[in-house]
Structure 1
């Protein structure tokens, strides 16, 4: 039995490492006096954001994430915007547009047209996310007030005398009705997805709903969703958690109108004090207590409680709408960000290699001997023998070898040379015992020979070829390769008596769109025995018949979407192609007249980042996308997606061009990035679903409990 009177001391030692537009903090916890089995903290990774990152004040009163992925922190002394690298601070003394009414920011809420509402004690500011400045000031309310809005920006304000709604046409708050509740308790109001204000009436089970009609009039409805009085609510993302007068906790789906009983939390409130927030996280429920931190209700154990961390005071709690992160604004310790440690991938980090390998992964391959090969942007080609056992059971440096043309070294003896060997492409040979390597230059084309365990440059005059990204072996003497700067190249090769290869002829293919040359290609997809699809950097997609040498250029976007013509990856799926571009994912089909039909999804639809470096399809038909900000699991059927960015145990956030690969033997998916390489096993992939983080365990209708099939 857990002893809640046990004295707890938690010491944190934090090492920070900042990368472009991301942050990751390694946290070492020393827990003294607490049995390991009683702590839920072991299930979470913790990141702290404080003065070290530029936070203007360590008392964080409010939290909000905008649609561009920026986290906004309302502190006791200023408004802060944090993109993972840079902290922007806005105060009353910053001369940009109209000044903030006050430096103490009590609430941050969504406004319409890419704006935020900034609530202070003396009024509300309208803040433009585009201009990064205050563009409106509103002080029509009584001394105490609360502002409520949904993600679309439908906005209401309540003070002790009146209820107001925001009219975008008038750019003002219009008095709608008297406040019958005469209370501004933040936990007794919400704005639903249709823009209606819900007011939970004290000491009754009734809810008063206010809605602005199309003609501008006010519609009022009194309804109920529960048989007893509701004393506390916390809503976000279409889910309402509420506590009734008996301290029973329920979860309510605002869209589906379904109510789920969780458990009674009366003893917890008696023990830990005032509730500050309730969020649903995966299948669990997280309770935030004002004076006693976070408590987890674990779904697996029928919502038995365990302590995440009760060593801090909470001002605000917020579930990230895109990432699997709970943000907590504390009293004096800045912001804590919690993410699940449930690992979805096996990872090999450069830090595990004592940073002998430091340059990003740019190509990946696995062979039938269970070796993992990956090419780097300068540190050569790396082989990890029996990679599954080696990575899981602790790396043995004797089983890791680094290769450069004509030489090799065990990792423990490897010293970074003055010259670089950049490996962008790896292609298995169907005719010889080895594989082809495409690299930046000198040599741009090499061959690894298994028998002699060595890399040999291809001989002959291939000096015109540079930056080889992908290689296709048409037969035992013809290679095709995409290059950056020298276009598509066909190389005739001859096998020599000494076991090496010689290039006997090189042909570069010239493609044009109007007067523009197209000679910069990364991805290649070979369809059938005669067609290549080539993804260009900036000039669209080319369909090339390598028997007749006929080609057609497809420009996929006009002036407003021209960036989708910059293609980094191609993934076939039945009669369509998926393209990874620098401006999102493109779904490409062709109509009956063979005209391209394009569908795009990117940051506007909620991706954290638009740059799609790689695309792989798993056995269930889901697409996995590697980006500059995490992995995305995408469902082509309904366009639903989920982003994993330093969550679910992922330690790689920024991925690389060319570094994506599906193992032919196991079906595992591999992705490489700036910090290492990871692979998703089929068993783990199948456990990661594109669905809400909530599972329903029961349904109550009319006071009775029904079984869910």
Structure 2
């Protein structure tokens, strides 16, 4: 029963005709006894497998981010990425950041420094919760309009367009049409009111039911009279508690203690806890789930507060865990993750409390590590031979991958002999030739793995002209040509010697530095620094 509307004092900096009203609920209950929620006695423990098939990119203060502790993220309708930090609001256009801060004496600036919440409404308007007020951003003027609700933990919007602000002083509802605020708060004289004023989250589900998260549980709220219709208790208090509804209609409850994940069956009123390890589900350790995201492929991602990023594999009913690995520049930067966001391109952004931002593609690239040899730094070239085999040249070996995916490694002539392969070609007899960076020219017999090495000899004009071999070509007659740092070499297989061609016999000009190819008949097209 509504007893009346009581005016609420507005802070001096609030704008215009905004009125704030306290929504006071009478002591008469409309519901009597609430439905009972049943808790499954045994947590659902699923296997957790570890993986490293995601490549993360990293953005931090070196790229212009104002502060490394990013608490929340959103993408606006123009495509800009917005990040709320402990020091200002950051707008990112994909290249550079623009930071919005509170400016003393400027009433149109951000109301505070610490951005505690960030939300884009259905009209594309950006709302920012700071320590002093909630701000509405005007992208045309880049001015902020202030609403006197401080320290908003979360912002949401229901199907009627009302905005909801979760605070430690209760739950506020903003009617944007009238500018009127309503406060839903605990009434000690009403057992059906909210049990606590410390509201950490509030949102409407897809069925139109409204849920409020408080430290000791999730509550379904009747917005007409402020009464709690259903209580979902937690084992222990949690400073973070929210829900996430996926496309299958599953209602997930996220909280910041213990394992941090439960699923609620809204038809049967059954709550099932999930377990990631053997720890107690009622543990008060701050190690739960901070955020959940379902990407466009239907995959669920969980931001864990102490154990990294998790992916729910529905097909195999398991979780896949991605954690920080020291020394891995493309891995997760730390094991504490606070928020997740999928942008319009399908990339997923990860906010970290002490390392800024990371971004990754949720669809792993179809590549596997070729080798983990020490000193091997990527591939120098690729080549497909007449049998459909893929050849890959690296700093220490040649690799052959056949059409079935089987891999064969061909190491150097001697153990420890570097290759640094720059070019590969197959001749008409089936030999594989590899030109290298300052290590000469190698010939490999792939049938027996035998190597033959050709190098430059200072006083032998029939030797390789230089040990840097950029390009290789086999012409229509089966003759091998090698473009080196000091000329173009033709190899005579019968005499096992080279003939060198230069634009100027006294010059070291690289007449084929850019490459060459076979012409239509017996001609060759050679790319050099001056002509083709």
**Larger strand percent:** 1
**Larger helix percent:** 1
Q: Normalised by the size of structure 2, how large is the TM-score?
A: 0.49
Radius of gyration: which is bigger?
2
